[in-house]
Amino acid sequence: MIRRTPVSKTLGRPRAVDSSDTRGNLLVSARRIFARDGYGATTNRNIAEAAGITTAAIYHYFPSKAELFKAVYLDVQNIVDDCFDVAMREPGTLADRFGRVLDAASALNRQDSSIAGFIVAMPTEIQRHAELGELRAVEKSRTIPFIEQLVADSVENNEFADGVVPSAVEDLLTAVISGLTVLSTLTQDPERHVAAVGALKRFLSGEFVRRFSPGPLPID
């Protein structure tokens, strides 16, 4: 029989715990529940129970559920930005650097799949709930800036062949990142994300299919 550790009935912010730690735990708990249940179905009570605090204690940090959602959104953006910034620091070709970004996204998804789940759900939630409307401008202003930087660096390094349109490359890379994020959320299987990234990297390197020479043409 599995022995379960009793859950303490004492809620609220422990006196010995730093306020910033409690806030960080609250953001993580809220993110996971928003990603799982959606904004509308989530209550402050759900979040408080997951975070181990009282519902009233949430208002010490955020005046409303909407403000908490906005804070989670900004926290997720910072996590993703920091993760991808590290992946892009090393020099290399566009394929090299984008491959490292994809690997970083896979590692992040393995660490906590609720990040991808929140990102996928967020645009729909903003459209459905008027109190989240101000996030539309924030979302548009932060449309995957690291991709713009990757493409700009590649233009400066003269990587693209004649006729390649940089804005089209930005759209393609954005679609790849977005599609893999959706895949992670739909399958709930981080290993499928990793496998898909591996297949894409082989495709980009020209190792995706066997090379062969066509046989001789038939003789009439």
Question: How far, in Å, are 141, 159, 171, 172 from residue 121 at the CA level?
Answer: 18, 35, 20, 21
**19 found inside a domain:** no
**47 found inside a domain:** no
**147 found inside a domain:** yes
In one-letter notation, the amino acid at residue 153 is: D
In the chain, the number of structural domains is 1
Enclosing domain of residue 146: 65-204
Q: Which two tokens stand for residue 151?
A: 């493409």
Cα 27 to Cα 114: distance, rounded to the nearest angstrom = 12
**46 found inside a domain:** no
- Supply the CATH number for residue 128's domain: 1.10.357
pTM: 0.79
Cα 153 to Cα 83: distance, rounded to the nearest angstrom = 19
Each residue of 168-217: pLDDT tens digit? 999 999 999 999 999 989 988 889 999 999 999 888 887 777 776 666 66
**118 found inside a domain:** yes
Each residue of 39-90: pLDDT tens digit? 999 999 999 999 999 999 999 999 999 999 999 999 999 999 899 988 888 8
Q: Count Cα neighbours of 74 within 13 Å in the Cβ-side half-sphere.
A: 11
3-class DSSP state for residue 59?
Answer: coil
Q: Which two tokens stand for residue 6?
A: 């009793």
Percent of residues, the chain, with pLDDT higher than 90: 61
| 134 and 157 Cβ atoms separated by less than 8 Å | no
76-87 CB burial, b ≥16 within 10 A, e <16: beebbeebbeeb
Residue in this structure with the two tokens 């993760």, named with its chain if needed: 83
Residue in this structure with the two tokens 């990757």, named with its chain if needed: 150
**138 found inside a domain:** yes
